[in-house]
Structure 1
Amino acid sequence: MTDHPILWSFRRCPYAMRARLAILVAGVTVEIREILLRDKPAEFLATSPSGTVPCLRTADSVYDESLDIMVWALQQRDPKGLMNMPDDGWALIKANDGPFKAALDHTKYIARYPNLNLETERENASMHLRTLDRQLAGQSFLYGDTMTIADLAILPFIRQFAHIDRTWFDAQSWTNLRAYLDRFLASDLFARVMEKRKTWAVGDDPTYFA
């Protein structure tokens, strides 16, 4: 074990992305280990009960769910007050992680689901996005003009859905949502969490992220 918690991550995974976002905003230093999902190292599999990223190992605990990692980071430090969120925000995250993510996956990987209809699944995802668009009317973030943990938890999945077919996404009437996503994609915060790192291997010098 190093002097810092170890975060196993995969750059493009939206779950890992939101964990890195919270860690970065909190300003907590972790050792980051980038892996390939098609070639998971034994050291990672020995740490993660689920075998999925992200996974955080601290001196005395293992956090195997991205939202748990976000909360852990913001309990260490929360300089921007991201945890100051209405209770409804947790329900919104739950809807994102449940019905919306299922419809997103069905849309993105429709060939894996021959019994499902692409347009139906895309509409199921779009219902959630239209709700977010209405909530964003007249404000910069989901709960006003200050970012909360809900924004960091949800934005990576909006990005993933938009990138399935960005031309189609941009043609929809959710102008508030599109502006919200574009501000995020243009931010220094997004650029920092998406920096490319070499794949971790046994014997590598530690790489730190904060």
Structure 2
Amino acid sequence: MALVKSQQSCVLREVILRDKPKSMTDLSPKGTVPVLLLESGEVLDESLDVMYWALEKNDPENWLRSQKAKRSEDLINKNDGDFKFHLDRYKYSSRFKVINKKEHRDECLKFIKEINDELKAKEYIYDKDVSFLDIAIMPFVRQFRIADTEWFDSQPYENVKIWLKNLIESKLFNAIMVKYPLWKEDDEIVIFP
């Protein structure tokens, strides 16, 4: 979303992580997405780094305003730390050989409640408009919902549900969720966006 909002183009290669191309792991041995190779030769392989890079080049709606607040940094750290740890064990419990995935779901709910409280007086987490903070956290909350949509939708966190619905129904989100064919070594270049 940050790439589109900042009007930064890149070559897109759609991959399946269970069948990572060698060219990807040569650039980033950790083997996760995203991987962005800059013209300078620097490799960005963390979503937050890609977001910062794009928005530092062009931030037409001042999404980075949220990053001036310590609270934003704290929430992103909780999201990328405890919440993601428990989300992975809840959503992919068989992969982690988790005995009680409900414990991990309950741990995730602590963060959901915190976000819900942040949203009591405003439409988005930082203020009345979308910011970096929303875009950094939303994909993980979306994945938490996807793990058991019916259960999530029955929970009493109305602020989070409205916030998430607004983001996933936005033109921007739907513009980036286009499915691309899997990339193969000799394919033509696909430019995103």
TM-score (ref. length: structure 2): 0.94
Measured in 1, the distance between the counterparts of 2:97 and 2:19 equals: 28
Q: Report the counterpart of residue 79 of structure 1 in structure 2.
A: 60
Measured in 2, the distance between the counterparts of 1:67 and 1:107 equals: 23
Measured in 2, the distance between the counterparts of 1:42 and 1:89 equals: 36
Q: Report the counterpart of residue 9 of structure 1 in structure 2.
A: none
Q: Which consecutive unaligned segments of at least 5 residues does structure 1 have? A: 1-20
C-alpha displacement at 1:64, in angstroms?
1.4
Q: Cα gap change, 1:114/1:207 in structure 2, threshold over 3 Å: closer, same or farther?
A: closer
Quote the RMSD (CA, aligned, Å): 1.2
TM-score (ref. length: structure 1): 0.87
Measured in 1, the distance between the counterparts of 2:180 and 2:102 equals: 36
- Which residue of the other structure, out of 51, 55, 59, is the alignment partner of 1:70? 51
The answer (yes or no) to whether the contact 1:49–1:64 under 8 Å persists in 2 is no
CA deviation map 1:46-105 (0-9, x unaligned): 111312110100111111111111101111110110111122111111100000011111
C-alpha displacement at 1:147, in angstroms?
1.3
Q: SS at 2:156's partner residue?
A: coil
Q: SS at 2:113's partner residue?
A: helix
Q: SS at 2:64's partner residue?
A: coil
Measured in 1, the distance between the counterparts of 2:145 and 2:159 equals: 14
Say yes or no: does 1:131 pair with 2:132: no
Q: Report the counterpart of residue 58 of structure 1 in structure 2.
A: 38
* AA at the equivalent of 2:44: Y
The answer (yes or no) to whether the contact 2:89–2:98 under 8 Å persists in 1 is no
Measured in 1, the distance between the counterparts of 2:22 and 2:80 equals: 28
- Superposed counterparts of 1:27-38, under 5 Å: 27-38=7-18
Q: Which consecutive unaligned segments of at least 5 residues does structure 2 have? A: none
Considering fraction of residues, name the structure with more helix: 2
- Superposed counterparts of 1:1-210, under 5 Å: 21-60=1-40, 61-85=42-66, 86-114=69-97, 116-210=99-193
Q: Using the TM superposition, name which of 174-183 and 48-57 deviates more.
A: 48-57
C-alpha displacement at 1:206, in angstroms?
1.1
How much identity, in percent, do the aligned residues show? 35
Q: Using the TM superposition, name which of 96-105 and 84-93 deviates more.
A: 84-93
Q: Cα gap change, 1:41/1:112 in structure 2, threshold over 3 Å: closer, same or farther?
A: closer
Measured in 2, the distance between the counterparts of 1:119 and 1:93 equals: 23
Q: SS at 2:11's partner residue?
A: strand
